[in-house]
Amino acid sequence: MRRLGIGWRSGLALAAMMLSSPAAGATEPERVFLQQVGSHSAIVKWRGGDADRVCWSRASFFLRIAHWPLCVRAVETEGGHKEARLFPLSPDQEFHYIVGRPGRDAVIDPDQRFRTAPVRNRTPRDGNTHIWIVGDSGTATETQLKPPLGDGVSLTHPGEALAVKQGFLTYNQGKEPVDLFLLLGDNAYLDGTDAQWQGAFFDIYPEIMKGAQVVPTIGNHEMGGTLFDLGPLLGIPPGRLITFLGGTSFSSDPLSWDDGNPATVDNGPPYLDIFTLPGEGEQGGVPSGTEQYYSIAYANVHVVSLDSQLSNRDDAQRQAMADWLAADLSANDRDWTVVIFHHPPYSKGENHDSDVEDAEIDMREVFTPIFDDYGVDVVYNGHSHSYERSFYMTGHTGLSPSFDLETHVELDAEGNGASGQGTEIYRQVSAGSGYDDKVVYTVAGSSGKADELNPCVPPRTLGCTPPDWLQHPAHYFSVPLKGSVVLDASRKTLTSRFIDEHGAVIDSFTIRR
């Protein structure tokens, strides 16, 4: 491309136009995204449009391609989606793809390119697995009642998720493309409907999900809502303000999903129709038998997505998930282990206190000991709409007053909690214990909005900040800023950075192998 005096993206678009164009009257898909990108195959998924296949080619030098040599027909899946499995592919190679038949109904898009994973436990060619993480980002479709109550609706956070994405793009300018795109739940407000997924996710991040595998987890807003009594929380007598409220389901049954509209037929959360998740071990993890929780092995990183919303609500399902997790982590041989789920075991968010809410307590009591025992490196959660990052810690399953630095934290030379920065970077094998038994927990639920200081005045307890807001003793750093997380995994180091909506690095830590 440089020989022609144009950038590679511009050259790709030019070459694509020369090679093929959509047929007259053809319609384009409304969403295109990647699933299950491995060393030898990948899934392209889309909905809408006329295309019935995907064609692809190696991208070593696009202008030499006289045609798209490989095509595969799509199969129909849930929710009106189509998906095509691209196979065989070569490890650690870049491929471009088009949705449709060249010269007829193809959708030509320079963002439709991806790199396959390298062979087992190797880093990519550039030496780094580049991961972008967003939590509670689905606010583009979040609405609230206008005052007086019942007089229409309005958007509550217009443009805020887009601002966070732009902050990431500003930070990432000139850096490598994203390999994995991790979602921490609540990525479609308020009820997780298909239309809300379109407006809050597919319309916000199209250029990311076309080139990086999407790895999601279930949040409370993915599970619709229920009738909820807001009165006691707002200082109003009980029974005076009962309304359907998204995100309030406590059911363990996915078929209980309710969008609040009696005119629609509800058949479970659109989340499970939209994504094709490797519950049968398609990406190297131990089969879980469910798409509600699963694992993937990509390059030198093992990612586990747990279900803190549904499976965690039932004792038997929770134990089954815990048993699967222990088996999966026992079989894991990757350099780094990353766990994601929605409800944080350590948080002092505005409306989400891990000392109070059952989902957070259960995840802390049942799962954090497994993380300690099986060498998990980092855990990322959403739910609370701020950024909270823990020390390098182990062994704490109780309420926040029982947390003790000397007992639970990797200490620096002065006996304080180590920062993970500079000369205090963390060691995967703890200098204190001699074992790989410590974890950094990060709450990153501010990718679509961030809570602001608004002290609670009794009896109000909802939509205001309690006295101990963002003051969990397990946390090294907390800040009420919108942003996202970039995680970089090389052979020797794992570095996590919180990037604000302006592209600035606000916090970071590094773990060394």
Locate the domains of the chain by residue range: 2-115, 129-512
2-115 in CATH: which number? 2.60.40.10
Name the pLDDT band for 64 (thresholds 50, 70, 90): very low
Closest to 305 (Cα-Cα) out of 473, 83, 467, 133: 133
Torsion over CA: 352, 353, 359, 360 (sign): positive
Residue type, 101: R
Residue 18 has pLDDT above 70, yes or no: no
Residue 202, both tokens: 């597919």
Q: In this predicted structure, what is the pLDDT of residue 1?
A: 28
Percent of residues, the chain, with pLDDT higher than 70? 91
Least confident of 23-37, 74-88, 460-474: 23-37
458 vs 149: which has the higher pLDDT = 458
Helix, strand, coil fractions of the chain, as percent rounded to 5: 20, 25, 50
Q: What's the CA angle centered on 295, arms 291 and 299, to 5 degrees?
A: 140
Q: In this predicted structure, what is the pLDDT of residue 26?
A: 64
- Over the stretch 160-210, which tens digit does the pLDDT of each residue have? 999 999 999 999 999 999 999 999 999 999 999 999 999 999 999 999 999
Could you confirm whether domain 129-512 is CATH 3.60.21.10? yes
Taking the C-alpha atoms of residue 467 and residue 464, their distance in angstroms, rounded to an integer, is 10
Taking the C-alpha atoms of residue 389 and residue 380, their distance in angstroms, rounded to an integer, is 9
**Count of C-beta atoms within a 10 Å radius of residue 72:** 14
Least confident of 21-30, 108-117, 355-364: 21-30
Name the pLDDT band for 152 (thresholds 50, 70, 90): low
Residue 306 has pLDDT above 50, yes or no: yes
- Over the stretch 249-297, which tens digit does the pLDDT of each residue have? 999 999 999 999 999 889 999 999 999 999 999 999 999 999 999 999 9
| Preceding omega of 190 cis (within 30 degrees of 0) | yes
Q: In this predicted structure, what is the pLDDT of residue 17?
A: 39
Closest to 216 (Cα-Cα) out of 311, 135, 114, 111: 135
Name the pLDDT band for 234 (thresholds 50, 70, 90): confident
Name the pLDDT band for 3 (thresholds 50, 70, 90): very low
Beta partners for 145? 153
Least confident of 33-42, 71-80, 95-104, 470-479: 95-104
Which residue bears the tokens 């088996």? Answer: 327
Q: What is the pLDDT averaged over residues 332-350?
A: 98
Least confident of 123-127, 408-412, 463-467, 478-482: 463-467
Task: Say whether 428 sits in a helix, a strand or coil.
Answer: coil
Q: In this predicted structure, what is the pLDDT of residue 236?
A: 80
Name the pLDDT band for 8 (thresholds 50, 70, 90): very low
Q: In this predicted structure, what is the pLDDT of residue 204?
A: 98
Q: In this predicted structure, what is the pLDDT of residue 447?
A: 98
Domains 2-115 and 129-512 share a fold: no
Q: In this predicted structure, what is the pLDDT of residue 48?
A: 94
Check residue 335 and report its DSSP letter.
S
Name the pLDDT band for 231 (thresholds 50, 70, 90): confident
Which residue bears the tokens 């009420």? Answer: 480
427-431, long-range: CB < 8 A, 24+ apart = 427/511, 427/512, 428/375, 428/377, 428/511, 428/512, 428/513, 430/392, 430/394
Name the pLDDT band for 60 (thresholds 50, 70, 90): low
Task: Say whether 140 sits in a helix, a strand or coil.
Answer: helix
32 vs 147: which has the higher pLDDT = 32
Q: In this predicted structure, what is the pLDDT of residue 159?
A: 97
Q: What is the pLDDT averaged over residues 55-60?
A: 84
**352 within 8 A of 393, measured Cβ to Cβ:** no
Residue type, 196: Q
Taking the C-alpha atoms of residue 285 and residue 303, their distance in angstroms, rounded to an integer, is 9
Mean pLDDT for the chain? 91
Beta partners for 440? 378, 392
Burial of 232 from C-beta contacts in 10 A (0-12 / 13-18 / 19+):
middle
- How many angstroms separate the Cα of 491 from the Cα of each of 107, 196, 258, 435, 512? 37, 39, 45, 19, 9
Cβ-count burial 393-430 (b if 16+ within 10 Å, e if not):
bbebeeebeebeeeebbbbeeeeebbbbeeebbbebee
Burial of 59 from C-beta contacts in 10 A (0-12 / 13-18 / 19+):
middle
